[in-house]
Every structure is written in C-alpha cells, then in structure tokens.
Amino acid sequence: MSALRRGLDFALQILCCTLLAGLVAVLAWQVISRYALNQPSSTTEEILRYGVIWLSMLGAAYATGKGSHLSVDMMRDRLSGPGKLRLDAMIAIAFISLAAAVLIYGGMRAVNIASSQTSAVMQIPMSWVYLALPVSGALMIAYSILNLIDLSRGTTHHVDLDDVEAKGG
C-alpha cells in the first residue's frame, strides 16, 4: 500500500507543480500583454480561473493523503492511543461518505449539467472544468482508504500543528 501512496503522492506533486508553473507563466503573460504591450490577452483570465480550480481540488486531494487538512483537534487532543485511532477512523469514514456524496455524486451531476455548455472565451466544454470535482473526490476517497488501512496497522498521517511549529514550519 505504501507503494500506491508514494505513486499517488508523486503523480499529484508533479501535476500540481506543473500546473502551478503553467499558471504563473500565464499570469506573467497576462501582465505583460496588458501593461507592456497594451493588448490584454482574452484567454488568460479563463485559463487562470479554471487552472486554479483544478489546482485547488488536486491540492485538497494531496492534503487528504498527507493528513494536513485543516481540523479542530480539541476532542482528539483529549483522547489517547486507541481513542485517537477510533476517532481518526470515524473521521475518515465520514470523510469518505461526504466525498462520495458531494464530490463524486454531486460533481458528476454538475458535469452532466454542464456538458452542453462551453466557456465564453476559449469555447472549451465546461464539463472539463467541473470534472475536477469527481476526480478530486475519487483521489480523496482513495487516500482516505489508504489512511484507514494505515490506522488499522497503527500508523497515522495526521499532522500535528505543534510539531510543525516546533520545527519552524
């Protein structure tokens, strides 16, 4: 399972870094074309908008795998050993249910609704944009299942903010 996690991590890291670099290049071109050339590009705003949507959703899936989503640790901090593991398992199961209902089911409905629409400037199918929801939902569920497997083995991917702050991050 750790090979699968490493593969997912690597693929998402490469994809997110490439997407971010591409968005920075598009943003630079937008600034140059608008202020230096006095001819703003009409497609850059759409590329940036849809790219940020995909980057956010893929980044959220990656954060799920790393256990670094924003969380309230008040209850978790009061528990020890098995109690923490049970709570983490319940949270992972709830997260899987929510991701399946909202991101996959709701996302696929949005993809179907948007399938007949195109973007205003680039004329790309809007279903491609909305596809970020079910794709990230599937990745989040995969990571959550891997997290549950790790929990059953006694390991966890929960990020403790106190540890991060102590290391200076």
The per-residue pLDDT for 167 is 62
User: Span 44-61, mean pLDDT?
Assistant: 97
Number of domains making up the chain: 1
Q: Could you read off the pLDDT of 116-147 as tens digits, one per residue?
A: 999 999 999 999 999 999 999 999 999 999 99
pLDDT band at 113 (very low <50, low <70, confident <90, very high): very high
Give the domain range for residue 70. Answer: 2-166
The per-residue pLDDT for 158 is 57
What is the distance between the alpha carbons of residues 165 and 169, in angstroms, rounded to a whole number? 5
CB 48 within 8 A of CB 26: yes
CB 158 within 8 A of CB 150: no
pTM: 0.86
Per the listing, tokens 């995969």 go with 142
Q: Where are the beta strands (DSSP E) in the chain?
A: none
